[in-house]
Amino acid sequence: MVRARLADDGRSLHGSERIELRNTTPQPLRELQLHLYWNGWKSNQATWLAEQSRGLGRRKDRKVRNDSYAAIDVTRLVLSVRGSDLGALAPETVALDLLPSAAFIAPDDGNPADESVLRVPLPQPIAPGMAAGFDLEFELVVPRIVARAGRKDDFLLFAHWLPQLGVLEERTPAAGGGFGWNTHQFHANGEFFGEYASYDVTLDLPEKYEGRVGATGSCVEGPAKSGPGRVRYRFTQDDVHNFAWTADPGYVVVRRRFEAQRALSDPRLAAERLRVKAAAALSDAALELRDVEVTLLLQPEHADQADRHFRAVFESLSWMGIWFGAYPYPTLTVVDPRWGSGASGMEYPTLITAGSRVDPSSREFTPEGVTVHEFCHQYFYGLIGSNEFEHAWLDEGFTTYCTARVLEAAYGHDWLGTTIGVDRVEGRPLLSAAPAEYGLERLLGLQALAPPSLRDTAGFPLFADDPAILWYRDLPFLTYIAGPRPPVEAQRAGFVSGKPSDDRLNRCSFEYRDGGAYRENAYYKPATALHTLQRLIGEPAWTRLLREYAVSQRFRHPRPNDFFEVVRKHIRGHELEKEIAELLPQIFEGSGVLQYGIASVKSREELLPAGYTGHGGNRRLLAAAEPSQATKNYYSEILLERAGEVIFPVDLEWKLEGESPRRERWDGKERWWRKVIPSGRKLEWARIDPDRKLLLDVDWSKQEATVEGDGRASARWTVRALLAAQTQLQLFGALR
Amino acid sequence: MIALASKALLGTVRAACLWRIWGLLLLSQLAIALPVVLPAGRAFREASNHRIESPHFSLATDFAAWSDLLPRLALLEPVLAAVAFAAFALGIASSAGWAALAARGDLRPTAAAFCSAAGEYFFRFLRLAMISLIAIAALRWLLYGSPSEALLRAWCGSEELTELSSEPVARAFVRSRSTLFVVGTAAAVLASDLGRLHLIRAGSHSALAAIAVGVRRLMRSPLRCGTAAAAAFALEIALLYVISFWVSAASSGDATQLNVASLFVATLAVGVIRETTRAGRFAALAAVSEDGR
């Protein structure tokens, strides 16, 4: 139970909190550990800001504004126990001040300046099964938003703002076994981990926020006057592991109800429901969805995007509900944060922040992409409460994977687009159309030069950054390509364009080599791995597998092995059971890449026998002769190679002239393998992974090969490259 | 104004008839672009041989494979710098040729006269271009450098656009700044073009004096100068838009010899449009500066 009062100027908050805790472990509980996340921004010596200044985290700027420092001080911390719950302390009710013995700890980096974890020794252990209550008071200094928490002008987003218990969990044998607190410090790379609880939060706010407040859970009271110029709200929610709230006097509030029956009458969803029912052998009841009250808090400039948000949310509620079980909460709040608040794209229980901009094209996934992604987190983070510090991929990877699946199921695909300044242009420059770092800047993207001599000598680019000049330089209507962008392939492209071998996937988020390695290993690689596993394992086993994982781990804190166990269970009897089992640690533990390719294909005409035959007087010379077209015979070979470290069998498919394609599997263990077709018709082509299952393969450009090349397509692209080059070069010609 | 726009149009059409001149310029442009395009062509060719249905090899049919190919296409920055400088020099030479044809009534519109004028005025135009570039750089510093940051800091407490109160405000700021920069850059290019015409007519060698004349003429009749340049620019962009449909049509569907050839012709046409509209601009500006003498 929390009561919080925000000061009129929005720069401080006073709160009181009662935490009721029952020791559900078999061991006595001797101490508490509390997260005080906002102390991560207390000073530039605190771990979060110190890591930020070293270039970790999402923010690029190293400087911290004076008003971006924050603080949370616990000013009172009292243990109040009913006598019956704490036999050893006999009195009927005790109230012990715990603050004097409390101390900050830094379990991750030993940083003495970090105050994001408070350790509170208990005067008497709480016995297994016993309960205790703790009363806290705390003061918050509210910062200019740092990492999606704080204020911007009078926009407020309060996330991870409460003193919050860590998670009391059974340690792995490697970590010493037994039970203990899992309470990491607040880090620039990485997110959170909390225990499920019931929240009852009363907010006392300045009157200007009346009717413009959103929070985790249901509003059970308010808005009600709480004093002159003040307004009060009360929200409650069970079974969530955090509580966030937001307020902005400028919000445009739109409410709509997601009606489960109506959603399921959609033929697409009805068909999917039948498919999942059959695949996972589920009852109709297990596939029921629940009605949800959805509140959209929009910025006025995005008011015309309400329908797009609602569709994204309703589609997500439907598809995710069918795949992973119904969304169990009665409410969902979607927040469109204020411009420049940096609060876009974040998930909290029953509350998500979206990401949008003015006038998005109807052909792109803005705002849908972020809204769907953050909703998917309601499952992989919210309901399946994995440890975001230690296994970021279990929430971000699964969520990224689900985002692609929902977007594909609901919308199909979006389109390539580029932002020039603040304006969106459909399509991307021809030679940077791929997401590979939008990498052709180094080829025809002469923008990298801009022009080089001036950039180097004057210390700033002459033309870069100006949208009109960039437009004139690129002339998008001549040099851009607007193509479809399938979500799954876009995710794979994100994976490939990163640095897949820079780091291994399964490590603490704050221990990754850098922000790029975090994004690669928390988001793109696991998502691509899941798409790969989906294709390898196939339906219906994959549907069953994911469903079982999601349902069995609901309101729990799964670890990677919990997922692997489910995978191993569901691949029993699969033709690639052993290989898939061996693939799991290669992907999820190692940093190797999967890369198979066709090194060469050859098909040579077999010569008819010629030369001497026989011996002595019987020796005769056979003259070389040209075989007739009908008797021509070819020796063909296909050389496959493994350029990556990850080993997995690959299928080879090849076609001889006039014949049907044939397939053979290579175990992929050696560095190369030669498929010889000693005799037969001429080889036309060969390809590996013909069903495109191995999305994890980092280079698809060498997965096919033809014996006789065809230059027409390459000639056309080369001419397009010439046009792009000329267009870019004309800017230099125009500098006179 | 209509007369000036007509001059620009007429100048463009006349230049379009001078096929030897723009043919020469196109060949030079192709030569300059080759170091950039040939490696790309080789990579495309290799990638194409790795596709079973190579005539269909396009973004639409194989986005992922295309993505994987791109990292292999890379050139060294020094090569790019050399290419960029060559393009810059060609732009100056071409301007000298077209400006001379527009400003000197005694010059016969032949390729030889064009080349001769390009050589004669090249270094003077180069000096003028440097002055123009310095002006543009100063303008950029003003609008994007410390003064702009100071303005933003005074306005919203930070040099970050994200500190502005709303997205529409930020967009308006970006557009206003961009408009100012574009107008300023256009003015710098226009003043230097007027200066070039003066250099040719007066036969002077001082780039500084020429640009001063250009600035004075621009300030005296900004509307007429602006109309002359804008008419040529509008014509250029409109024609390029037309070409873009051609490019798009030739890029879609299966690659055939016909659409490869068609695309190449479209690419050449883009070069022709740029050069001839440049000639059109000089013709219109010559009329303005003639009136102002």
Q: Residue B44's pLDDT is what?
A: 76
Q: Residue A563's pLDDT is what?
A: 97
Please say if the pLDDT value at position A645 is more than 90: yes
Contacts of A727 in chain B (CB under 8 A): 270
Q: Do both A142 and A178 map to the same domain?
A: yes
Residue B122 · residue B93 · CB < 8 Å: yes
Closest CA to A340 of A13, A59, A53, A57: A59
Contacts of B57 in chain A (CB under 8 A): 713-714, 717
Q: Do both A15 and A85 map to the same domain?
A: yes
Q: Residue A714 is nearest to which of B41, B85, B259, comparing CB atoms?
A: B41
Verify whether the Cβ–Cβ distance B54 to A492 is below 8 Å: no
How far is residue A388's CA from residue A551's CA, in Å, rounded to a whole number?
19
Verify whether the Cβ–Cβ distance B64 to A489 is below 8 Å: yes
Q: Residue A457's pLDDT is what?
A: 38
Residue A351 · residue A214 · CB < 8 Å: yes
How far is residue A329's CA from residue B282's CA, in Å, rounded to a whole number?
70
Q: Do both A157 and A37 map to the same domain?
A: yes
Tell me if A400 is assigned to some domain: no
Q: What percent of chain A has pLDDT above 90?
A: 67
Q: What percent of chain A has pLDDT above 70?
A: 92
- Phi and psi (nearest 5°) for A200? -135, 105
Query: The tokens of B90 are what?
Result: 């060609």
Amino acid at the residue A518: Y
Chain A residues 671-730 within an 8 A CB cutoff of chain B: 685, 687, 698-706, 709-723, 725-727, 729-730
Q: Do both A721 and A603 map to the same domain?
A: no
Confidence bin at B70 (pLDDT 50/70/90): low
Q: Tell me which range, A668-672, B67-71, B158-162, is most confidently predicted by mean pLDDT.
A: A668-672
Domain ranges of chain B: 2-291
What average pLDDT does range A614-618 have in this prediction? 85
Q: Do both A108 and A158 map to the same domain?
A: yes
In sequence order, what are the beta bridge partners of A267?
Answer: none
Q: Which residue of A has its CA nearest to B73?
A: A443
B89-115: pLDDT as tens digits:
999 999 999 999 999 988 889 999 999
- Tell whether B140 lies on the interface with A, counting CB pairs under 8 A: yes
* Least confidently predicted of A430-439, B133-142, B209-218: A430-439
What average pLDDT does range A484-509 have in this prediction? 86
Residue A105 CA from chain centroid, whole number: 30
B185-206: pLDDT as tens digits:
999 999 999 999 999 998 888 9
Distances (CA, A) of B130 to A22, A456, B88, B204: 77, 16, 11, 17
Query: The tokens of B237 are what?
Result: 């962009």
Query: The tokens of B63 are what?
Result: 């986005």
Q: Do both A677 and A718 map to the same domain?
A: no
Q: Residue A245's pLDDT is what?
A: 98
Q: Residue A339 is nearest to which of B67, B167, B181, comparing CB atoms?
A: B167
- Tell whether B276 lies on the interface with A, counting CB pairs under 8 A: no
In the listed set A142, A163, A195, which residue is the last one of a domain according to the structure? A195
Amino acid at the residue A1: M
What's the domain range around A667?
596-607+631-693
Higher pLDDT, B181 or A85: B181
Contacts of B179 in chain A (CB under 8 A): 468
A442-473: pLDDT as tens digits:
344 444 334 433 444 344 455 556 888 878 87
Q: What is the mean pLDDT of chain A?
A: 89
How far is residue A433's CA from residue B70's CA, in Å, rounded to a whole number?
9
Q: How many CA atoms lie within 13 A of A247 on its CB side?
A: 19
Higher pLDDT, A634 or A469: A634
Min Cα separation A444/chain B (Å):
7
- Residues near A531 by beta carbon (within 8 Å), at least 6 away in sequence: A401, A404, A488, A491, A492, A695
* Least confidently predicted of A205-219, A333-347, A410-424, B143-157: A410-424
- Burial environment of residue A631 by CB neighbours within 10 A (0 to 12, 13 to 18, 19 or more): exposed
Q: Do both A79 and A15 map to the same domain?
A: yes
Three-state DSSP at A115 gives coil
Q: In A435-476, which ranges are E strands? A: none
Q: Residue A81's pLDDT is what?
A: 67
Interface test with A, best of B32, B67, B243 (most A CBs within 10 A): B67
Q: Do both A33 and A147 map to the same domain?
A: yes
DSSP-derived secondary structure letter, A616: G
Q: Do both A640 and A728 map to the same domain?
A: no
Chain A residues 17-56 within an 8 A CB cutoff of chain B: none
Q: Residue A725 is nearest to which of B33, B70, B174, comparing CB atoms?
A: B33
B58-69: pLDDT as tens digits:
544 455 555 555
Interface test with B, best of A338, A424, A723 (most B CBs within 10 A): A723
Q: Residue A90's pLDDT is what?
A: 47
In the listed set A153, A179, A195, which residue is the last one of a domain according to the structure? A195
Q: Which residue of B has its CA nearest to A439?
A: B71
Q: Which residue of B has its CA nearest to A465?
A: B144
Q: Do both A662 and A725 map to the same domain?
A: no
Verify whether the Cβ–Cβ distance A339 to B63 is below 8 Å: no
In the listed set A147, A173, A195, which residue is the last one of a domain according to the structure? A195
DSSP-derived secondary structure letter, A384: B
Min Cα separation A586/chain B (Å):
22
Q: Residue A177's pLDDT is what?
A: 83
Interface test with A, best of B28, B46, B66, B276 (most A CBs within 10 A): B66
Min Cα separation B1/chain A (Å):
24
Closest CA to B47 of A711, A675, A444: A711
DSSP-derived secondary structure letter, A489: H
Confidence bin at A439 (pLDDT 50/70/90): very low
Higher pLDDT, A704 or A587: A587
Question: Tokens 């719950």 label which residue?
Answer: A85
Contacts of A446 in chain B (CB under 8 A): 80, 83-84
A5-30: pLDDT as tens digits:
999 999 999 999 999 999 999 999 99
- Tell whether B244 lies on the interface with A, counting CB pairs under 8 A: yes
Verify whether the Cβ–Cβ distance B60 to A299 is below 8 Å: no
- H or E segment and range at residue A73: strand A71-82
Q: Residue B66's pLDDT is what?
A: 55
Q: What is the dihedral sign for C-alpha A28, A30, A36, A37?
A: negative
DSSP-derived secondary structure letter, A154: T
Q: Residue B36's pLDDT is what?
A: 77
- ipTM score of the complex? 0.90
How far is residue A405's CA from residue A487's CA, in Å, rounded to a whole number?
8
Tell me if A238 is assigned to some domain: no
Tell me if A701 is assigned to some domain: no
How many separate domains does chain A show?
3
Residue B181 · residue B147 · CB < 8 Å: no
- Tell whether B188 lies on the interface with A, counting CB pairs under 8 A: no
Q: Do both A80 and A26 map to the same domain?
A: yes
Confidence bin at B162 (pLDDT 50/70/90): confident
Q: Do both A92 and A22 map to the same domain?
A: yes
